């Protein structure tokens, strides 16, 4: 399955909500979780360079989870969490290129809706992707 349009935001499940600013204990959610089934192909929203292929968590039982950061020519960072990379660091991608495969979160958080956590960093600040970008391929 290939996701070619922006999927809906993750609604409330036993682990919380996926909208921008949702409560996460003492902090607020600084991205948007888009309801996306495990195994779906993720397309880059922007053209740029793959500047990071990272791990969002250090805990041993979560080290298989990955994220991809695409940095635009303007220096904006677009991060896709819970996505297994199919690209190489320092490679160039165009908007619409496949960059990874959605990973399941069920083994860590049973009952959570599988999703892609998407965040954008502009001038060092995280911005609401829904206000910044509307095209997902």
**Tens digits of per-residue pLDDT, 92-102?**
999 999 999 99
Q: Between the CA of residue 96 and those of 2, 15, 46, 47, 88, what are the distances in Å?
A: 11, 30, 7, 8, 16
**What would the pLDDT profile of 16-61 be if each residue is shown by its tens digit?**
788 888 888 888 989 999 999 999 999 999 999 999 999 998 888 7
- What is the domain class of 23-132 according to CATH? mainly beta
The DSSP code sequence of 65-122 is --EEEEE-TT--EEEEESEEE-S-TT-EE-TT-EEEEEPP-TTTSTTPPPEEEEEEEE
Residue 134 in tokens: 């509307």
| Annotated domain spans of the chain | 23-132
Q: Determine the pLDDT at residue 6.
A: 61
Task: Please give the model's pTM, rounded to 2 decimal places.
Answer: 0.87
What is d(CA 3, CA 24) in angstroms, rounded to the nearest whole number? 27
């Amino acid at each position: 399955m290939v996701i070619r349009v922006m999927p809906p935001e993750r609604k409330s499940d036993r682990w919380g909500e996926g909208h921008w600013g949702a409560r996460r204990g003492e902090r607020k959610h600084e991205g948007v979780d888009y309801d996306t089934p495990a195994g779906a192909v993720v397309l880059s929203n922007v053209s740029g360079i793959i500047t990071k292929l990272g791990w969002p968590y250090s805990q041993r039982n979560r080290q298989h989870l990955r994220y991809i950061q695409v940095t635009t020519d303007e220096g904006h960072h677009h991060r896709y969490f819970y996505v297994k990379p199919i690209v190489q660091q320092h490679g160039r991608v165009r908007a619409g290129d496949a960059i990874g495969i959605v990973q399941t979160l069920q083994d860590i958080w049973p009952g959570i809706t599988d999703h892609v956590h998407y965040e954008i960093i502009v001038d060092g600040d995280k911005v609401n992707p829904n206000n910044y970008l509307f095209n997902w391929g």
